Amino acid sequence: MSVKAFELVPAVERELLMGDKARITIECIECCGKHLYVGTNDCIIHHFLLEEHTMPKGKMAFSAQRLLQKYLGLKKPVNELKAASALERLIVLCDGTISVVDMVTLEAVPSGGARIRGVLSFCVNENPVNGDPFCVEIGVISAKRRTVHIYMVYEDRVQMVKEVATPEQPCALSLDGYFLCLALSTQYMILNYSTGASQDLFPYDSEEKKPIVKRIGREEFLLAAPGGLGMFATAEGVSQRAPVNWSESVIGAAISFPYVVALDEGFITVHSMLDQQLKQTLSFRDGHILQDFEGKVVLASRKAVYVLVPLPLERQIQDLLAGHHVEEALTLAEGARRNIPKDKFQVMHRRILQQAGFIQFGQLQFLEAKEHFRKGQLDVRELISLYPLLLPASSTFTRCHPPLHEFADLNHLAQGDQEKVQRCKLFLISYLREVRSTEGANGCREDVDTALLKLYAEANHESLLDLLASDNACLLADSAPWLEKHHKYFALGLLYHYNGQDDAALQLWVRIVDGDLQDSTRSDLYEYVVDFLSFCSKLDLVWKYADWALHKDQKVGVQIFTRRAVDQMGTMTPEAITQYLQKYPQALVLYLEHLVLDRRIQKEKFHTHLAVLYLDRVLSLSQSEAPAQQVMEAREQLQRLLRESSLYRVQLLLGRIQDTELLRECATLHGKLEEHEQALHILVHQLKDFPSAEEYCLWMSASRDLGYRQRLFHLLLAVYLDPDVPGGDCTVAAVDLLNRHSEAFDAEHVLRLLPEGWSLQLLRPFLSGALRGTMHARRTTQVALGLARAENLLLKHDRLKWQGGPIFLSEKKGCQLCHNTFTEPGCVCLPGGVPVHTHCAAHRAKDSPRKRPSTNPSNYT
């Protein structure tokens, strides 16, 4: 048993009912409001007025006042009593006869027709089919015939309306609408007396056991089945509820939703209709009668009357929760929904769910607890307040009263079990993460986020940084000491940044990088600070910490400037940055590379500055006897800039290179000045680098026309063949040049330059290519000429086609544009053969907007 649902309270004591008469026993009872009627075996009806009283401790008590007693004069027991309050009548069964008496005076109704004889038992139809409010329907079992009669009981008469035959003699019945639920001799059955349809339910033996047929709701009945079961059956003959397992010797049953109360020889048992479980057992000797009247459960022994007073549902639920019977409490609460006003039920149900959640939380049933907290709309601070120091000091939250749980705090709950403490903290983390993104955190977002931050910091949780990097409501004053306590300095910097205190954040991060504070959260914190500064909008902070970053690593520190958008108007212009970086040579080079090579800024001073720095580096490396590979890479970097850029000051660089060994760079600079002969002379005769000379010609003519390229290659050929250069025999290079680049030469011009002693076999590839190119050009020209002639012929055809017949002019004929007559034979013919003056046509063409030529031949003059 898990709940105390009822208390047994005396209503009519033996002394009041029968005094010292030992042979008098109670046979039946009826209750209507405060009025209690008791029928005894000496043929007397006793009428009492029951008054309810609430005792000091909240218990219920009854006081009974005898109003009247009436002897019926038959010397037989009063078998049954049923009240018809609308008629102010009491229906009485005594000695096999139903009579009707007045409820107040207990006097018989004057009319002689208000009697029914030969009756075994009867019941009142609580769902009448007759709409007359001043009429009561009853079902009557005939004592001698296997029939059930349906009667209408009026104030002064009784009228039979239906006789229903049954397959066996009924011994008990219940009536609901047109449906009769009958206990026959060997079985229960449902019978519709309107249609005649019937449904057998299940067998039983009426000689061994008293049948019970109890209407419990609309078209639903409770029956005593074999095996000590209380079976539920609907009018369709099916069971929609599981049976209750009561005693084999049950003699009565009653309904007080959501409970089924059963009476046997020694006990009263209480089962739930919701889960069919036994909830309470009360000892009750000499039990005789158990009935329910409008929700009031009344029972009687042979000598006294008692009332089963239901305890308030809220108290029952709280008792269940106190015993940690969570599911039973929730089931009872759900079952009570229909008996409680909606608003009151919602408030009560939410509280019960919250209490259930805390009970399961204390049992470490976290999934169930979370679900109950969610459904119960728990103020999450109730849960946070269990964890010491998690709520901010500024929080105004106070716990619910009366309290939702029995725990002082988490330490009280865990009783020193640290594993339990950790599991509870992990649960709170998961719960707060879910709640903070829902309406459950409305109004307490600061408390939720601050508590979550503290839990993350304490558990070294990876989500701490995600919380601080996203939108949050963590209180700085409460969170900062906690983060310092757990050495989460990087996270504290993020919190400062989120609250607009970037200087404080940078001071912390700089101290971590410098080793003054220990925090291993980010191994790349220096790079993070550089990245932070590169996107920082507070320029005073950028200038303040740029020196520190560049002192650490110029290559990384310069990213503060290279990652920023180029500012042409503010205090961080490229000019200001380059001036600032003068004391950081490596950073200066990297920044200028960013401007020139990445951003493609077209300013001469940046290009020249970068070229000078490249040149200085090459000269410095050359003089310091650096490794050849390093010198070569530096020169390639310089050469690439000299070739790709056209904005640097060539003369300045050429003046500095002139007396050095940087001949290749010198050749490039001569090329930039269009001094190609000097450049090629350096490449061919000073460097003896014939492939570079050919590459020079291709590079310099890459974006020029064919004539420019031919001029460069002819110049290179002339340099190869120059007889005035001592030791300059470049015959092989010249032949290779002609054979590889035959398309870049004018063959006729080349043949005039070549020495007469050269054999044609030597120049065969060149001559073959030149001849092939000449033939291709000639044929291409012929094709183009033929196409032009064809187009011209088509135009002439169109002109002749639209020329039409003769145009007649006379001094009387007028111009369509100016409306003046013609004075000379010259004219222009508009489409359609309309003549106009020549000067009018010219003005018209001049004034009209230019349009694309139409393909319609009618637009031609």
Number of Cβ within 10 Å of residue 853's Cβ equals 8
Q: How many CA atoms lie within 13 A of 541 on its CB side?
A: 19
Matching residue, tokens 């009142």: 124
Q: What is the rounded CA–CA span in Å between residue 819 and residue 813? A: 9
Residue 319's pLDDT is 80
817: nearest Cα among 843, 851, 850 = 843
**Encoded tokens for 218:** 């609309």
**Encoded tokens for 61:** 């008590």
- H helices of 802-853, in order, are 838-847
404: nearest Cα among 346, 321, 344, 329 = 321
The neighbouring-strand residues paired with 99 are: 92, 115
Q: Please report, as a single letter, which amino acid is at residue 319.
A: D
> Which phi and psi (to 5°) does residue 206 adopt?
-70, -20
Matching residue, tokens 């769902």: 127
Q: What is the rounded CA–CA span in Å between residue 75 and residue 41? A: 8
Q: What is the rounded CA–CA span in Å between residue 541 and residue 428? A: 39
**What contacts 345, CB < 8 A, 6 or more positions away?**
336, 337
Residue 113's pLDDT is 55
Sites in the chain below the pLDDT cut of 70: 1-2, 111-114, 440, 568-569, 725-729, 802-805, 832, 848-861
**What contacts 408, CB < 8 A, 6 or more positions away?**
none
**341: DSSP letter:** -
Residue 19's pLDDT is 76
Helix/strand/coil (H, E, C) string of 732-791? Answer: HHHHHHHHHCHHHCCHHHHHHHCCCCCCCCCCHHHHHHHHHHHHHHHHHHHHHHHHHHHH
**What's the alpha-carbon Rg for the chain, to the nearest Å?**
57
753 in Cβ contact with 735 (< 8 Å): no
Q: In what order do the strands lie in the sheet with 220-225?
A: 213-217, 220-225, 229-234, 244-245
Residue 797 three-state SS: helix
**Encoded tokens for 539:** 């320029």
Residue 440's pLDDT is 65
Q: What is the rounded CA–CA span in Å between residue 854 and residue 859? A: 7
Q: What is the rounded CA–CA span in Å between residue 656 and residue 673? A: 15
**Encoded tokens for 726:** 């001592």
**278: DSSP letter:** E
Q: What is the rounded CA–CA span in Å between residue 764 and residue 769? A: 8
